[in-house]
Amino acid sequence: MNEFLPYFILVPLLGFVVNLTLPRKREAVIFWSAITTVSLHALCLLVFTISWLGNGAPDIHGEGPVLYQTRDNEFSLNFFFDRNTAVYFWVSSVLTFLVMIFSRYYMHREPGFKRFFNNVLFFYTGLSCIVFSGNLETLFIGWEIIGITSFFLIAFYRDRYLPVRNALKVVSIYRVADVFLLLGIWICHHQFGQSLSFVTWKQMFSDGVPLISEEPYRVIVPLIFLVVALVKSAQLPFSSWLPRAMEGPTTSSAIFYGSLSVHIGVFLLLRTYPLWGDILAIKILIVGFGAATALVATVIARVQSAIKSQLAYSSVAQIGLMFAEVALGWHTLALVHFAGNAFLRTYQLLVSPSVLSYLIHDQFFNFIPPQHNIRDNFAGRLKLAVYTLSIREWNLDRIMYRLLWQPLKTAGNMLEFIHLKNVLYFFLPLYAACLYFVFHRDELPVDILHNLPVGLALVSVLLILKAFVKRNEAPNAWFLVVMSQLFTAMAIAFNEQFDMFQIFMYLSGIVISTGIGYWVFSRLARAGEAITLDRFHGHSYEHPGLTRLFMLASLGMAGFPITPTFIGEDLILGHVQEHQFGLTLLISLGLILDGLAVFRIYARLFLGPHEKGYHEVAYRSS
């Protein structure tokens, strides 16, 4: 049976590719292509599940293709099917099928009808990749796909300011989870000496063999994966991104942030349970985060004026309880809870416009004012304080901004000396000198050679920080992003003696993306369009082809799995030793800011209200 597992990812991927080729105005053809893909996938899963149950429901592990292999490294795709996979994917298939049928009428005559169904099919492919993943590398591919489809669906109404702004907020938080997941994979590679499959994890845990023997990392690795799960499932202190993600169409909100994508954090905890299932402190911590999120999200949900925000926080509260259930070992209960919450939230979000209309009508005719002043006693004043705090969503959004992004923006604005002239006169010669010495290491003093990787990684972070806050010409910011990537690769080249082919693999996608990006800039400039970053220009109105091309260049620059750079990121981290905390921190920060700077350039140039007055401008959010 294991030979059939890869097809559960190939079927939705093939459906997505087919949908890309269909005419934009043929709504019926687009819909039937998408619904046929999901139906065929569910039918295959039904036959497979019946056969699986008939054989006693064993854990099934399948080997996939090896994408890259050397004596020390291997990047392969593995697949795994157990009861967690069965529950998650049956719920996903049914809900995706129902939401697609609903969307046929809900999205009728929308200009982005095809774009919507393409994104849903791509999301379905990424979800398949996560749920059927047999190792962390395969899971990471699906993780990246879900993240990018989230960005595109939140910014679906790209002619409006708030959806684009909130899409950038969400992808900023997602980028933190992506890099933490990459760090977790990196440490696991060092600890295991190879890429272990989830079935091996499960077997070792059942036999009482600790997966990680070194004491500090036995706690550090579960904490890293916990942060990833907290971000993806919008648990405290990251809860504020979920209501912002509701800017997309109601149908995408239902399938993404009500039912499926937001529950992936719970799935990650179930998969990584063998890493921390025997550590009491980690269990207590997860229960604490889950319980605190359930309490805070419940009181916030009860006072929200927007029905989608209310449902978002209600879902977050239930997921907090699921975190606690997984930590307590009640995995069957967590799976049942997931299925029930997913179906309920999807239904509530789909009917929310009708319910809202009814409640507004009822409020006009049956409003009953409060009968007494709640400030009369201490309990009333306390209730009022909690109410006020909940209305402000416990300032979670402001706290995240002040702790994460404001310090980075402040630091970037202080780097006045980093401008195009200094980069050409100072940083390029520095890179040329490093390129010479990387092949002549013996000519450098030992002390300089030892500290050079950290110094070059610091230069990379300074360049990407400046690109992150830059507001003038987009080509200049793009150039800083490219130089940052080059210095990151050079830092790793000096860190260890290893095959330079791995560096070339990392830079191959960067070079291709660089060329595409500058070609798009030149085309926009020749067309007389503005290419500054001081506002949203909305060039997707008049240049849809350039928009798609630059989107692909941005994905390649950010390490999305469409170029070898995706594998290269894993390889270069593999050449950072576990004790090199400073180098690890700088490279991780660079990877986070790299994605943010690239998506910011894309959003500023191509999304948002169009700068020309003869296009319609939507002043309200969705």
Q: How many CB atoms lie within 10 A of CB 193?
A: 9
Kindly report, residue by residue over 541-561, the tens digit of the pLDDT: 888 899 999 999 999 888 888
Q: pTM score > 0.85 for this model? A: yes
Nearest to 88 by CA among 129, 136, 54, 120: 129
**pLDDT profile of the chain (622 residues), mean per 10:** 80 91 90 93 90 86 75 75 90 92 88 90 92 88 89 86 87 87 83 77 80 80 92 88 85 83 92 88 93 92 84 91 94 94 90 73 66 67 80 82 81 81 84 83 81 88 88 89 88 73 80 92 91 88 90 88 78 74 84 88 88 61 47
Element (H, E) at 301: helix 280-301
Tokens found for residue 223: 């904490």
User: What confidence score (pLDDT) does residue 409 get?
Assistant: 84
Q: How many CB atoms lie within 10 A of CB 174?
A: 24
Q: How many CB atoms lie within 10 A of CB 510?
A: 24
Q: How many CB atoms lie within 10 A of CB 566?
A: 23
Tracing tokens 């330079």 back to the chain, one arrives at 500
User: What confidence score (pLDDT) does residue 216 get?
Assistant: 80
Please report, for the chain, the start and end positions of each structural domain, with discontinuous segments joined by +: 2-358, 415-606
User: What confidence score (pLDDT) does residue 130 get?
Assistant: 92
Taking the chain, what is the end-to-end CA distance rounded to the nearest angstrom?
46
HSE-CB at 533 with a 13 A cutoff on CA atoms is: 21
User: Cα 162 to chain center, whole Å?
Assistant: 19
User: What confidence score (pLDDT) does residue 229 get?
Assistant: 93
Nearest to 334 by CA among 279, 269, 242: 269
Q: Is the dihedral of CA 579, 581, 582, 583 positive or negative?
A: positive
Phi-psi region of 64 (alpha: psi -120 to 50; beta: other; left: phi over 0): beta
User: What confidence score (pLDDT) does residue 506 get?
Assistant: 80
User: What confidence score (pLDDT) does residue 616 get?
Assistant: 63
User: What confidence score (pLDDT) does residue 622 get?
Assistant: 45
